[in-house]
Amino acid sequence: MDKCRREGECLIWTGMVFRPHPGEPLYGRVAVSKERPAMQLVHRVVWKALIGPLEAREQIGRTCRNTLCCEITHMFKFTSENGEITILQEGAARV
């Protein structure tokens, strides 16, 4: 993670970022490989590399609430349907 820096307990992404819509938070983006140059969300790439696969409906949240944090121990996998959030797994549980 050469594009991250430690800020307190968080590991902050310092590479490419984007904002989906005005007023929304920033998210980290990364091209995983030259063979697959499409940009992917950094927190999803970190989860897949350290924990395992994600289904399309599964999302990654962070206990620190920092959308640029890629510290796996801050991450949790969840789904959100009809306004109900269901936590499926915490990142620290497998590391």
* CA 84/CA 67 separation, integer angstroms: 21
Mean pLDDT throughout 49-61? 91
* CA 10/CA 37 separation, integer angstroms: 27
Domain of residue 69 covers 4-93
1: pLDDT confidence band, cut at 50, 70 and 90? low
- The overall pTM is greater than 0.75: yes
**For residue range 59-93, what is the model confidence (pLDDT) as tens digits?**
999 999 999 999 999 999 998 887 777 888 877 65
Number of domains in the chain: 1
Distances (CA, A) of 21 to 24, 26, 27, 40: 6, 9, 11, 17
95: pLDDT confidence band, cut at 50, 70 and 90? very low
Beta strand residue intervals within the chain, DSSP E? 4-7, 10-13, 17-18, 27-31, 39-41, 59-62, 75-81, 84-90
10: pLDDT confidence band, cut at 50, 70 and 90? very high
pLDDT at 80: 85
